[in-house]
Amino acid sequence: MDHFLYKDGILHAEDVAIPEIAASVGTPFYVYSTATLTRHFDVFTEALSGMDHLICYAMKSNSNQAVIAHMAALGAGMDVVSGGEYLRAKAAGVPGDKIVFSGVGKTAEEMRMALDGGIRQFNVESEPEMERLSQVARSLGKVAPITIRVNPDVDAKTHEKISTGRKEDKFGIPIGRAREVYARAAALPGVKVVGIDVHIGSQLTNLEPFELAYGKVADLTRQLREDGHEITRLDLGGGLGIPYERSNSAPPLPLDYGDVIRRTVGDLGCEIEIEPGRLISGNAGLLVASTIYVKHGEGRDFLILDAAMNDLIRPAMYGAWHDIIPVREAEAGAEQQPYDIVGPVCESGDTFARQRNLPEIREDDLIAFRSAGAYGAVMSSEYNSRPLIPEVMVKGDQFAVIRARPSFDDMINRDTLPQWA
């Protein structure tokens, strides 16, 4: 569910008309609903009720500080995967003891940053990383709390590029070697084991892979405790999918996901951490664009938008589907026609949809991409020297710009010419 609805024939973000925002900030732009962010967090809270838990919002899905601060105010911890994300979380007021640091390539500098600034735990991904972390922590006179990410070799049955729990993926250590690696961790002076971490992929639309992976984690927890390790936390990752295509069947609900957690690991007495990102922020955002031209080609019509692949790369990168709707609601029974919906970037890959049925669209009409709050603005770039687009947040009948559109001078003046030029 989201809070983007037609009112009197005009698409609104909560109680703000989308054309009002467009008139203020220009197009294209992203807009986020605080009510939707809140609702999605609350659904996870309900799903884990009765269990000791912490919901760590996966910042990689949308790391705007206004979004982070809103999630933190709801009680969320943060899952970060870089030093930059760590500093964003701290700048938004998140305490270090509610930040978990994931990612396969943590540098010594990032480790020092988190140890000095405070950290809940490092989710360690490899033995070399564990050795490096121990060295860094000792040099600072500290002991780093860690979980070790295990790779359970479970196929998440999701897109090839966002599957992370198979043995051929780069993430974690093979679960078959976990006892050996935990024994090594126990011998290192600069780290202290606090739990186990697992994450098998993103945009999962079936609960079975979670059940398989968490069952393996439960078995491993019992084995490690027999070996003398104190396992008090289970970081179960994120990955629950959202309904990008409204006409398809909906993915499992967080309540059903919570039931899987209870069945598989609920009897172990561990604090449960989860790291939802997409399910919290995805349907909380729209990308709004304007139609520059309607081009009549041979056998097809093109909608040429002022948004492009540099603004929303998911369709070009993953072949991803986003529902696309007119901001002005079509009349009931209005005839639909197929369009190829494209941007102005000089690549054929700059295509959002092919032969998508829409009511008649004219030049300057506004259209909106649903489910654009996750992996949209965070993955945008200035390709073709196109400035990054604004991000806007809505609360009730108010809206605020939370990332301004830079000017061309702002963008160009970041470059410097060498002396010889």
Annotated catalytic, 56? no
Do 55 and 277 contact (CB within 8 A), yes or no?
A: no
Q: Where do the DSSP E strands lie in 152-284? A: 173-174, 191-197, 233-235, 271-274
Pick the catalytic residue: 1, 346, 417, 421?
346
Distance of alpha carbon 85 from the chain centroid: 12
State how far the alpha carbon of 23 is from the alpha carbons of 27, 91, 290, 366, 379, in Å: 8, 31, 11, 11, 25
Pairing of strands 10-13, 285-296: unpaired
**What's the rounded Cα separation, in Å, for the pair 397 and 273?**
34
Sheet with 4-7: strands ordered across: 4-7, 10-13, 16-17
**What's the rounded Cα separation, in Å, for the pair 349 and 82?**
29
370: burial class by Cβ within 10 Å (0-12, 13-18, 19+)?
Answer: buried
**What's the rounded Cα separation, in Å, for the pair 297 and 299?**
6
Query: What residues have CB less than 8 Å from 171, skipping those under 6 apart?
Result: 104, 125, 149, 151, 164, 165, 199
Do 76 and 61 contact (CB within 8 A), yes or no?
A: no
**What's the rounded Cα separation, in Å, for the pair 266 and 56?**
18
**Which residues are known to be catalytic?**
346
